Amino acid sequence: MAESKYRLQPAVKKETRNIAIYTVTGTVLMWIVFALLHFLLDNEIPFDYTVFLGGAGGAAVAILNFFFMCVTVQAVTNTENDDDAKLLMKKSYTKRMGLQLLWIVAAIAAPCFMWIAGIIPLLFPSLGIKAKGIIDSRKPYGQEVETKQDEH
């Protein structure tokens, strides 16, 4: 019985996958914009390995942040004491913000990262969620169809 307490719920897997899709898509689009700016502005904007490393690092941190939040929410739903649940959420938030702050400092300080390319992907999960909300709100009433989640 204790084993199921630590098993990831299908919703955590599904939503983390969605966030990964939004974030990777946004990062690839960001790389394309960097390439266009690089060529249009006569090489004033760099487009080299630092842009790719920054984007990949920022995307990884963004996806991990969301995943850790989902795992925390799952743990909170299994917590009976409200004070314990609030403390768990607060600790998780502090750690997740710390992770992002450490990444931002590393992206700015380390010469192997183009700093702005490392920071921009942190915005993609939120932008993806908002875009999906807008798209879903434009569907005619009653057309929302629940898809069966994979049991894998």
The 3 state secondary structure assigned to 134-150 is: HHHHCCCCCCCCCCCCC
8 A C-beta contact, residue 84 and residue 119 = no
Give the pLDDT score at 57.
Answer: 98
Q: What is the pTM of this model?
A: 0.84
Give the pLDDT score at 129.
Answer: 94
Mean pLDDT on 30-39? 96
Mean pLDDT on 120-138? 93
Mean pLDDT on 72-80? 90
Side-chain-side CA neighbours of 28 within 13 Å: the count stands at 5
The token pair that represents 123 in the structure block: 């915005």
Mean per-residue pLDDT of the chain: 89
Mean pLDDT on 91-119? 97
Which residues are within 8 A (CB) of 133 and not within 5 positions of it... i.e. 6 or more apart?
A: none
Domain coordinates in residue numbering, the chain: 10-130
Q: Which residue has the higher pLDDT, 7 or 98?
A: 98
